[in-house]
Amino acid sequence: MVSLWDDYSTTNAYDEMRHSANQARPSSQRLSGYLDNLGRTALEVRKTAAEHAIMEMGITFTVYNEEGNIDRAWPFDIIPRIIDNKEWVGVEIGLKQRLKALNCFIDDMYNEQLFIKENLIPAYIIKSSKNFLQECIGMRPRFGAWANICGSDLIRDKDGTFYVLEDNLRVPSGVSYMIENRVITKKVFPELLQDLDVLPVDDYPAHLFEMLLSVAPAHRETPRLVVLTPGIYNSAYFEHAFLAQQIGAELVEGDDLIVLNDDCVYMRTIDGMERVDVIYRRIDDQFLDPEVFRKDSVLGVKGLIRAWKAGNVSLVNAPGAGVADDKVVYAYVPEMIRYYLNEEPILPNVPTYLCSEPEQLNYVLKHMEELVVKPANESGGYGMLIGPHATQEQIAEFRQIVKAHPRNYIAQPTLALSTCPTLCDDHLEPRHIDLRPFILQGESSYVTAGGLTRVAMKKGSLVVNSSQGGGSKDTWVINTGK
Amino acid sequence: MLSRSAERLYWLGRYLERTENTARLLSVHMNLMFDLPMSVEISWRNLLTIFGAGERFFQLYETPDEHNTMRFLLADTNYRGSLFSSLNFARENIRTSRDLMPDEAWQQVNEMYLLIREKSDSTANRRGRVILLNDIMRGCQRFTGFLSGAMSQDDAYRFIQLGRNIERADMTTRILDIGSTLLAEDRSDKMREYENTLWMNVLKSLSALLMYRKHRRLRINSGDVLDYLMKDANFPRSVGHCIDEVETCIRYFPQSEELFENISTVKKLLKTTDFYKITPKNLHELLDNIQVKLDEMHQQIAATWFLAVN
């Protein structure tokens, strides 16, 4: 009999499901066999069912292009990605450890700056960081947690080790898709989820809610939570509405809020002004408060920073947390873990060359063809160079840019991201993936079971961002028994 | 609740009501046209009159025949009052209010939207149209069902109700305005002959035929139909009932004194009018007057509870 796996050829990269073309990893044996039994035709039927569900549920994201904003259906591949819980337990501890250290670092940067005084990081890196906000100096958010919500991107290299590629500490997105992907999978493969011990992911909103309550200003008895969105044209609007709904918070825009003379934040309701205690803001620092940051911001709320500094409202994530969301600062995270927590890092960083250091810059300029060069402060995969896939002209151009602004760039070896079987037309092919788990830190810490797996749908591509043609997969952390 | 949310929910209520009413009206009118002989002066154009859309129609089309009228009222996005436009606006409002209502409600509206988007070509033939209109009517009812089964009857719910009832009262007055044509002294013999059928269709357009029969127990006649659809306290689409509903909703909201004044004016108008003796001219004026009052109420609602644009 012809097997679905007959023409599945693993590449040099680590494949999440198959040791080799004809052998499944232990945690994936059931799934492999199941898919094989199902066969190609049935798989296509399930795929169509998933597409319908996505349309009907209205799971979309917004992309910008020349024609304006377009609401696109969420790109989803029905073949799940499996992680053995035995392995995941370690990753989870590693992620909590990492966020704890990052929060210690942020708190330190806005207060004593011991990490600089001990010569563990050059002072100029912080001074020149555009995410370091003077206004935040001296602030101490509750539990020392500045970044309450973090989305760290993990990748697996050839040998199967998980590496942290970056930590998104500003307004990380994607968690709603993680939850919706599972809802869709339940519709598409109900029989399979019943038979396997897959950890649930839909408890995230409950943990988010708890965390938000835990950081409310201390004296408020039943704190009022809101989600602050830039509005319907934001690419993650769907997620903002989804999360507000899930945690029972009001979804507000800048105009809905006002800071009065008592330095408290209120929202405009049909009953008049109502006090707001915790703002889960999905607006970047620069747009939060035209009184302090960008004067032209129409998304923010005048006086918000004043209210925050007076301790009358909690902002999540705290303004200024982005100082640690900088690819140069990233390189120092292992040292932060050692310094603040007195522990050894559990999850390794990807080796990183800092263009701000002359010797490392020289290396980068010489080896650009093999490296990935990234701007220190952008997100969404914009403005980067993937050496092995770039033309000579692009490389030459990047050399000039990097030389002109070394502080703004870092470089990393091109890692062979792991692959996962992905449905391409009517058969399975390996496609590169990464993983974004979400970590919460308030009074206590929490990590999602798995996270959002993003997949580069184009053959050989390493770009997984949904804004650039990436898709996603449901992620199953499963208990395999012993 | 947020002023912004109140506004969106109110419009959601209005637009969905408009969607459902449009679907029913088109469907009933199609049936009527199949029943009537060609010579009766009821035409596709009457539909345009009910919607007050004659002017816009002739900017976009030449002849008000079945094909054009249906396309215009059902699927044309160049006309803001078309069924598809209404549904589109309803969808935008619910898309931005998902935090306030059960998920199924959003999915229902989204499904209807996808359905029309996909099927808008099939509206060219009658069969496709009948199926589509039925699906839309059912979809709207399902939406109402989700809300009544799974949504707290809180302020959010009341703003939807408020929008729905203002829109509903408005539609009832528009449909009854055809009544003034039916009553006209100079109406043709043919028209007199089919009078019964026509009044029956007025009732059908408002889903009122069965309830009318049950509660009035009379042969269909203009006075009773008008009295029933204007004054009946229990029929959900009578103007009187809609106004009562509006009143009930706003009692729960703060600061609404001015609105109450307008409401009692309309109530008084209804109470003091004898619909068995009304002349076509007076009927037309009364309906016009009520429409103006409804618009004033709408303005007051907006000024009192919605987010002021600064």
SS3 for B152-204 is CCCHHHHHHHHHHHHHHHHHHHHHHHHHHHHHCCCCCHHHHHCHHHHHHHHHH
Angle, CA of A221, A223 and A224, to the nearest 5°: 150
Spacing of C-alpha B88 from chain mean position: 17
pLDDT, averaged across chain B: 90
Q: Which member of B96, B110, B307 has the closest CB to residue A56? A: B110
Identify the residue with better confidence: A407 or A283.
A283
Nearest CA distance, B8 vs chain A (angstrom): 12
SS3 B290: helix
What is the C-alpha to C-alpha distance for residues A244 and A377, in angstroms, rounded to an integer?
Answer: 28
What is the C-alpha to C-alpha distance for residues B99 and B122, in angstroms, rounded to an integer?
Answer: 34
| pLDDT score at B221 | 85
Number of domains within chain B? 2
**Are B210 and B129 in the same domain?**
no
| pLDDT score at B309 | 57
Range A27-53 average pLDDT: 91
pTM, whole model, 2 decimals?
0.88
Half-sphere exposure of B263 (CA within 13 A, CB side): 23
**Which of A127, A147, A77, A150 has the alpha carbon at shortest distance from A424?**
A77
| pLDDT score at A381 | 59
What is the C-alpha to C-alpha distance for residues B168 and B102, in angstroms, rounded to an integer?
Answer: 23
pLDDT surpasses 60 at B187: yes
Q: In this structure, what are the phi and psi dihedrals at residue A367, rounded to the nearest 5 degrees? A: -115, 25
| pLDDT score at B245 | 96
List Cβ neighbours of A401 (8 Å cut-off, separation of 6 or more).
A409
What is the C-alpha to C-alpha distance for residues A117 and A429, in angstroms, rounded to an integer?
Answer: 52
Confidence of residue A14 (pLDDT cuts 50, 70, 90): very high
Nearest CA distance, A249 vs chain B (angstrom): 7
Q: Which member of B98, B254, B307 has the closest CB to residue A271? A: B254
Contact B111/A267, CB-based, under 8 Å? Answer: no
Nearest CA distance, B234 vs chain A (angstrom): 29
Last residue of a domain, one of B135, B151, B167: B151
* pLDDT tens figures, A361-397: 999 999 999 999 988 876 555 678 888 888 999 999 9
Q: Count other C-beta atoms under 10 Å from residue B63's C-beta.
A: 11
Amino acid at position A261, single letter: N
Residues from chain B that touch A56, judged by Cβ atoms under 8 A, are 107, 110-111, 114
What is the C-alpha to C-alpha distance for residues A366 and A143, in angstroms, rounded to an integer?
Answer: 45
Contact B96/A241, CB-based, under 8 Å? Answer: yes
For B4, name the nearest residue in chain A, comparing CA atoms only.
A256
Report yes or no: A424 at the B interface, CB cutoff 8 Å: no
The fold of the A218-312 domain, in CATH, is: Rossmann fold (3.40.50)
| pLDDT score at A233 | 82
**Are B216 and B147 in the same domain?**
no
* pLDDT tens figures, A153-179: 999 998 899 999 999 999 999 999 999
**Which of A273, A269, A226 has the alpha carbon at shortest distance from B253?**
A269
Report yes or no: A52 at the B interface, CB cutoff 8 Å: no
Range A52-68 average pLDDT: 74
Report yes or no: B82 at the A interface, CB cutoff 8 Å: no
Contact A272/B95, CB-based, under 8 Å? Answer: no
For B99, name the nearest residue in chain A, comparing CA atoms only.
A245
**Are B296 and B167 in the same domain?**
yes
Domain extent, residue B175, equals: 152-310
A76: β partners: A472
Amino acid at position B155, single letter: D
**Are B98 and B193 in the same domain?**
no
Question: Best residue in A270, A276, A298 to probe B by mutation, most B CBs within 10 Å?
Answer: A270
Nearest CA distance, A337 vs chain B (angstrom): 39
Contact A232/B95, CB-based, under 8 Å? Answer: yes
Amino acid at position A366, single letter: K
Please report, rounded to a whole number, the percentage of residues in chain A having pLDDT higher than 90: 67
Amino acid at position B38, single letter: M
* pLDDT tens figures, B112-160: 999 998 887 777 888 889 999 999 999 999 999 999 999 999 999 999 9
Angle, CA of A64, A68 and A73, to the nearest 5°: 60
Contact B3/A270, CB-based, under 8 Å? Answer: yes
Report yes or no: B303 at the A interface, CB cutoff 8 Å: no
| pLDDT score at B217 | 76
Number of CB pairs, chain A paired with chain B, less than 8 A apart: 62
For B255, name the nearest residue in chain A, comparing CA atoms only.
A271
pLDDT surpasses 90 at A15: yes
**Which of B116, B121, B118, B125 has the alpha carbon at shortest distance from B30?**
B125
A314 neighbors A326 (Cβ within 8 angstroms): no
| pLDDT score at A74 | 83
* pLDDT tens figures, A452-470: 999 998 888 888 877 677 8
Range A413-439 average pLDDT: 92
pLDDT surpasses 80 at A220: no
Report yes or no: B110 at the A interface, CB cutoff 8 Å: yes
**Are B60 and B168 in the same domain?**
no
**Are B12 and B124 in the same domain?**
yes
Lookup: tokens for A197? 């011990």
| pLDDT score at A315 | 97
Contact A270/B253, CB-based, under 8 Å? Answer: yes
Range B74-98 average pLDDT: 92
Query: Which residue in this structure is represented by tokens 């009732």?
Result: B203
Confidence of residue A415 (pLDDT cuts 50, 70, 90): confident
**Rg of chain A over all Cα atoms, to the nearest angstrom:** 23
Last residue of a domain, one of B136, B151, B166: B151
Report yes or no: B114 at the A interface, CB cutoff 8 Å: yes
* pLDDT tens figures, B258-282: 899 999 999 999 999 999 999 888 9
List Cβ neighbours of B95 (8 Å cut-off, separation of 6 or more).
A58, A232, A241, B106, B110
Q: Which residues of A3-40 are buried (b: 16+ CB within 10 A; e: fewer)?
A: ebbeebebeebbbbbbeeeeebbebbebbbeebbebee
Report yes or no: B253 at the A interface, CB cutoff 8 Å: yes
Report yes or no: A268 at the B interface, CB cutoff 8 Å: yes
**Which of B276, B228, B272, B266 has the alpha carbon at shortest distance from B245?**
B266
Confidence of residue A68 (pLDDT cuts 50, 70, 90): low
| pLDDT score at B229 | 95
Strands A409-413 and A353-354, by their bridges, are antiparallel
A436 neighbors A451 (Cβ within 8 angstroms): yes
Question: Best residue in B99, B112, B250 to probe A by mutation, most A CBs within 10 Å?
Answer: B99
pLDDT surpasses 80 at B166: yes
* pLDDT tens figures, A354-363: 998 899 999 9
**Are B92 and B113 in the same domain?**
yes
**Which of A92, A2, A6 has the alpha carbon at shortest distance from A421?**
A6
| pLDDT score at A154 | 97
Last residue of a domain, one of B105, B130, B151: B151
**Are B48 and B196 in the same domain?**
no
**Are B118 and B95 in the same domain?**
yes
**Are B239 and B110 in the same domain?**
no
pLDDT, averaged across chain A: 91
What are the DSSP calls for A309-324, one per residue?
A: HTTSSEEESPTTGGGG
In degrees to the nearest 10, what's the CA dihedral of A49, A50, A54, A56? 20
**Are B121 and B175 in the same domain?**
no
**Are B137 and B266 in the same domain?**
no
Report yes or no: B187 at the A interface, CB cutoff 8 Å: no
Report yes or no: A249 at the B interface, CB cutoff 8 Å: yes
Residues from chain A that touch B160, judged by Cβ atoms under 8 A, are none
Strands A76-84 and A470-478, by their bridges, are parallel
Would you list the domain boundaries of chain A?
218-312, 353-413
A309 neighbors A317 (Cβ within 8 angstroms): no
ipTM over cut 0.85: no
- Could you tell me the CA-to-CA distances from A419 to A9, A158, A459 in Å, in that order? 11, 10, 11
Confidence of residue B103 (pLDDT cuts 50, 70, 90): confident
CATH architecture of A353-413: 2-Layer Sandwich (3.30)
Identify the residue with better confidence: B41 or A335.
A335
Range B198-227 average pLDDT: 89
Confidence of residue A426 (pLDDT cuts 50, 70, 90): confident
A6 neighbors A18 (Cβ within 8 angstroms): no
Confidence of residue A66 (pLDDT cuts 50, 70, 90): low
Range B93-98 average pLDDT: 87
**Which of A470, A445, A439 has the alpha carbon at shortest distance from A150?**
A439
Q: Which member of B2, B106, B254 has the closest CB to residue A267? A: B2
Strands A419-424 and A76-84, by their bridges, are unpaired
Confidence of residue B307 (pLDDT cuts 50, 70, 90): confident
Q: Which member of A57, A248, A256 has the closest CB to residue B107? A: A57
What is the C-alpha to C-alpha distance for residues A222 and A207, in angstroms, rounded to an integer?
Answer: 17
| pLDDT score at A480 | 85
Identify the residue with better confidence: B42 or A119.
A119
For B91, name the nearest residue in chain A, comparing CA atoms only.
A58
Q: Which member of B103, B107, B155 has the closest CB to residue A270? A: B155
Report yes or no: B189 at the A interface, CB cutoff 8 Å: no
A314 neighbors A215 (Cβ within 8 angstroms): yes
Residues from chain B that touch A250, judged by Cβ atoms under 8 A, are 1-2, 5, 99
What is the C-alpha to C-alpha distance for residues B128 and B119, in angstroms, rounded to an integer?
Answer: 8
Q: Which member of B99, B107, B111 has the closest CB to residue A241? A: B99
What is the C-alpha to C-alpha distance for residues A108 and A28, in angstroms, rounded to an integer?
Answer: 44
Report yes or no: B184 at the A interface, CB cutoff 8 Å: no
Query: Which residue in this structure is represented by tokens 């049936």?
Result: B31
Query: Which residue in this structure is represented by tokens 């208990």?
Result: A479
Residues from chain A that touch B1, judged by Cβ atoms under 8 A, are 250, 269-270
End-to-end CA distance of chain A: 32
Lookup: tokens for A215? 């950081």
Listed range (A260-264, A327-331, B120-124, B232-236) with the worst mean pLDDT: B120-124
